[in-house]
């Protein structure tokens, strides 16, 4: 169903600024990444989104295509970002059907809540594989195409530059986050990975940046990883901006980084969280350190690892 543009992109951006550009996005059927792609499509781009679930990915592609008449959006399901072969196959399909790749969003991620005492090495590895290895595989497969595109439309010489990649990270590792050892390690690695892409591929015309979302309302992540607020309360009042973020906030940041306005922005981390990480406690839902010391069970959220209660540090 078509969404009103005001829900996913600001009016300040000129229609058609990404005309004929192609964006490749892993995790593209998710709440945030689909919003990012939808904004780019609305502004003229065509797109290829990939995900694990075939039906969900193909359905989301059709939905995103309603953002602009004549838009081409393909959805590739059954793609496991942990497999380089799987990602490369998706990239090859994208290039075959859409002709090129100008922009890349490495957005696939997995998460749940668990204290380190109850976090198995396999569970830890799974998140590292999806978030960090998956981001690497996405970049590795797309970079040859991005370099080609950058040569055709170099930064600084075109009002519609190509050859840009955005990694989706988080703010979890800035001060540490209880119950998120796996995600903290993975996202710290994603930040470092983006810096390396900047250093090694910047001379070839590539810009590599990170967007780190804060708490974004109406997303799968918040539904799975945060408790629902009690009626009449506002647990987000501690955020300097006084509210949770919106998918549109992340989409606008994406448009900026892929636009001509960000020609000289490379190797940076753009935090879009209303200042949340500077003021919110690591234990908003699970009081620190009492929750850990008392061996509490993770309850009241959708994204949690099955655990035994009473397991203390």
The per-residue pLDDT for range 126-147, each reduced to its tens digit, is 999 999 999 999 999 999 999 9
pLDDT of residue 199: 98
- Number of independent structural domains in the chain: 1
* Average pLDDT for the chain: 90
pLDDT of residue 104: 98
Domain housing 256: 13-274+281-293
Q: Cβ contacts of residue 65 below 8 Å, gap of 6+?
A: 41, 71, 72, 73
pLDDT of residue 293: 78
- How many other CB atoms are there within 10 angstroms of residue 16's CB atom? 13
Q: CA dist 187 to 10, 45, 60, 150, 285, Å?
A: 28, 28, 26, 27, 21
Range in 74-78, 83-87, 208-212, 293-297 the model is least confident about: 293-297
pLDDT of residue 238: 80
pLDDT of residue 251: 98
Residue 46 resides in a domain = yes
Residue 312 resides in a domain = no
Out of 86, 162, 169, 208, pick the active-site residue.
Answer: 169
For the cut 90, the answer to whether the pLDDT of residue 67 exceeds it is yes
Catalytic residue flag (residue 169): yes
Single out the residue of 279, 289, 267, 301 nearest to residue 174, CA to CA: 279
Burial category of 283 from C-beta neighbours within 10 Å (exposed 0-12, middle 13-18, buried 19 and up): middle
Q: pLDDT confidence of 309, banded at 50, 70, 90?
A: very low
Retrieve residue 287's tokens.
Answer: 């009081």
Residue 71 resides in a domain = yes
Tokens 């359905």 found at: 59
- Residue 84, sorted as left (phi over 0), alpha (psi -120 to 50) or beta, turns out to be alpha
Residue 311 resides in a domain = no
CATH of the domain at 199: 3.40.50.720
Helix (H, G, I), strand (E, B) or coil at 168: strand
Catalytic residue flag (residue 212): no
Q: C-alpha angle with apex 29: 25 to 34, nearest 5 degrees?
A: 70
Residue 111 resides in a domain = yes
For the cut 80, the answer to whether the pLDDT of residue 289 exceeds it is no
**pTM, 2 dp:** 0.89
- pLDDT (tens digit, 9 = 90+) per residue, 99-126? 999 999 999 999 999 999 999 999 999 9
CA 245 from centroid of its chain's CA atoms? 14
Out of 34, 187, 195, 248, pick the active-site residue.
Answer: 187
- pLDDT (tens digit, 9 = 90+) per residue, 228-284? 667 666 777 788 888 899 999 999 999 999 999 999 999 999 999 999 998 865 455
Residue 54 resides in a domain = yes
Residue 68 resides in a domain = yes
Tokens 């306005």 found at: 261
Separation CA 102–CA 138 (nearest Å)? 14
């Amino acid at each position: 169903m078509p969404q009103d543009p005001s829900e996913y992109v600001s009016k300040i951006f000129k229609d058609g600024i990404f005309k004929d550009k192609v964006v490749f996005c892993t995790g593209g059927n998710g709440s945030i990444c689909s919003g990012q792609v939808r904004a780019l499509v609305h502004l003229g781009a065509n797109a290829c989104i990939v995900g694990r679930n075939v039906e969900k990915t193909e359905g989301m592609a059709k939905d995103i295509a309603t953002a602009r008449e004549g838009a081409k959006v393909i959805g590739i399901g059954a793609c496991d970002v942990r497999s380089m072969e799987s990602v490369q196959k998706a990239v090859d399909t994208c290039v075959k059907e859409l002709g090129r790749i100008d922009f890349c969003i490495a957005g696939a991620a997995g998460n749940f809540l668990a204290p380190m005492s109850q976090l198995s090495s396999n569970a830890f590895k799974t998140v590292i594989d999806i978030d960090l290895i998956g981001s690497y595989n996405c970049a590795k497969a797309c970079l040859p195409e991005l370099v080609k595109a950058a040569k055709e439309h170099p930064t600084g010489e075109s009002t519609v530059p190509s050859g840009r990649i955005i990694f989706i990270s988080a703010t979890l590792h800035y001060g540490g986050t209880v119950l998120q050892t796996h995600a903290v390690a993975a996202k710290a690695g994603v930040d470092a990975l983006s810096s390396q892409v900047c250093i090694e591929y910047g001379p070839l015309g590539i810009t590599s940046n990170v967007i780190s979302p804060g708490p974004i309302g109406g997303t799968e992540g918040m539904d799975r990883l945060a408790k629902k607020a009690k009626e009449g309360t506002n647990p987000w009042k501690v955020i300097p901006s006084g509210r949770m973020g919106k998918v549109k906030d992340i989409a606008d940041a994406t448009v900026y980084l892929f636009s001509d306005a960000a020609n000289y922005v490379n190797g940076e981390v753009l935090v879009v969280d209303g200042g949340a990480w500077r003021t919110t406690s690591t234990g908003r839902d699970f009081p620190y350190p009492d929750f850990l010391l008392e061996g509490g069970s993770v309850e009241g959220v959708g994204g949690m690892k099955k655990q035994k209660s009473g397991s203390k540090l």
